[in-house]
Amino acid sequence: MTSSKTIKIIGPAYPYRGGLASYNERLAKEFLTQGHQVDIETFTIQYPNLLFPGKTQYVDGPAPDNLKIKRTVNSVNPLNWVTVGKRIKKEKPDILMIRYWLPFMAPALGTICRIVRSNKHTKVICLADNIIPHEKRPGDQQLTSYFMNSIDGMVAMSQSVLDDIDQFRTSLPRALCPHPLYDNYGQKTDIHEAKSLLGLERSTNYLLFFGFIRDYKGLDLLLEAFADDRLKDFTVKLIVAGEFYTKPEPYLELINKLQLNDRVVLKTEFIPEKHVTRYFGACDMVVQPYKSATQSGVTQIGYHFEKPMLVTNVGGLAEIIPDKVIGYVTEPNKESIADALVDFYANNRKSTFEKNILEEKKKFSWEKMVEAFMQIESEIKT
């Protein structure tokens, strides 16, 4: 058994909302379960409001139980980065776990890491969602390089991210561990109860597109696929559940153009954690028609709720969805997606896929993620 470590996590957490915050909190609880000492430092300012695409960055409700969370990091104030870095340097945690997902965060996080690791004790390990962002901007490469040269090791959740490391550091200690299950959204809701709670028709089948709506997630491809005439033979509608993080007008115009107004259910607001079970409970299959990706937390919510899933063959998505076993891996085009949707209903795949998920989901544990961090920690020389 690994000896107890003192671990500090820097990244999104309460009162910030979204999958990154939920993940960091759940990972902290797993570290605690395995006997480590853990606290989380999150942001006083995460994004300036001018740069935030949603309606609010914050959740309603109380902080998670039994976690130490402090708001200390200002993403846009260099003086703050130095102050935070010097304090953590003196505290000397065994591991500083940094969550990296966006080049915008590189100056703040990279500066803090450099200062902390100068104590010659703390090992700085990054958990990377993306190294190369989905939505590219000028300066991304330089910013990410600054951050990548401030860490001692990295855990990646997909092979594509692991491969990207070599663009910046060829000898960086690294480990691959798939995104664990999001098991913090409660128990499954019966399909009829879920439909009732959402005001949906009991006799209609539903597909689910879930999560923040960004252009790279391919909702337009799904709408075009869903307009396929063959799908009219089945009593099926599409639920779009999640807040627009891009302009909604092109998608709304496409729904009108494709005459899908009576077949698409728009729930385009932020979905609180306590309601997630309703949306997954009501659907037959979760559809992720992404144009680019590394990994996705939505698939791990789908695994938790034991729902068949369709993903496109981009990034690391195909690594965790066995094709025709628990769902589909299609090409990122409307024809391939439509063929899979038709096959799903025409050949009654739902019950078979659901049975296969019970075995497949065992691969994605939080314990394995902690083991990956401890493996990297043991490889790093201070």
pLDDT digits (tens, 9 = 90+) for 58-68: 777 788 888 99
Between CA 316 and CA 47, with CA 169 as vertex, the angle to 5 degrees is 65
pLDDT value for 50: 62
Confidence band, pLDDT 50/70/90 cuts, at residue 292: confident
Could you report the per-residue pLDDT of 118-130, keeping only the tens digit for each? 999 999 999 998 8
pLDDT category of residue 138 using cuts at 50, 70 and 90? confident
**pLDDT above 90: residue 132:** no
What's this model's pTM, rounded to 2 decimal places?
A: 0.81
pLDDT digits (tens, 9 = 90+) for 9-53: 999 999 998 889 999 999 999 999 999 999 999 999 988 766 556
Q: Which of 146, 10, 32, 36 is nearest to 88 (CA)?
A: 10
**Residue 284, SS3 per DSSP:** coil
Query: What is the structure's pLDDT at 52?
Result: 57
> Mean pLDDT across the stretch 137-162?
93
What share of the chain in percent tops pLDDT 70? 96
Q: What's residue 184's pLDDT?
A: 81
DSSP letters along 47-78, please?
A: S-GGG--SS-SB--SPPPTT--EEEEEETT-H
Q: Is the pLDDT of residue 280 over 60?
A: yes
User: Considering only 196-210, 232-246, 288-302, which range has the smallest mean pLDDT?
Assistant: 288-302
CATH number belonging to domain 191-363: 3.40.50.2000
CA angle, corner 281, sides to 228 and 235, nearest 5? 30
pLDDT value of position 3:
85
Task: Tell me whether strands 153-156 and 123-128 are parallel, antiparallel or unpaired.
Answer: parallel
From the options 3.40.930.10, 3.40.50.11930, 3.30.1330.60, 3.10.580.10, give the CATH code of 6-180+365-379.
3.40.50.11930
Distance CA 335, CA 330 (A): 9
Q: Give span(s): CATH 3.40.50.11930, the chain.
A: 6-180+365-379
Question: Which DSSP state fits 130?
Answer: -
Q: Classify residue 274 as exposed, middle or buried by CB count within 10 Å of its CB (0-12, 13-18, 19+).
A: exposed
Which residues face 239 on adjacent strands? Answer: 208, 265
Beta carbons within 8 Å of 30's beta carbon, 6+ residues apart: 366, 367, 369, 370
Phi–psi pair at 366, nearest 5 degrees: -70, -30
Take residue 8 and report the two structure tokens written for it.
């500090």
pLDDT at 55 over 90: no
**CATH 3.40.50.2000 domain span(s) along the chain:** 191-363
pLDDT at 202: 94
**Polymer length in residues for the chain:** 382
Which pLDDT score is estimated for 240? 98
Q: Above 80 in pLDDT, residue 294? A: no
- Look at residue 295 in the predicted model and tell me its pLDDT: 66
Query: Terminal CA-to-CA distance of the chain, rounded, Å?
Result: 22
CA distance linking residue 336 with residue 222, whole number of Å: 10
Supply φ then ψ for residue 241, to 5 degrees: -120, 110
Which pLDDT belongs to residue 245? 87
Q: Check residue 331 and give its pLDDT.
A: 96
Mean of per-residue pLDDT scores for the chain: 93
Q: Check residue 324 and give its pLDDT.
A: 96
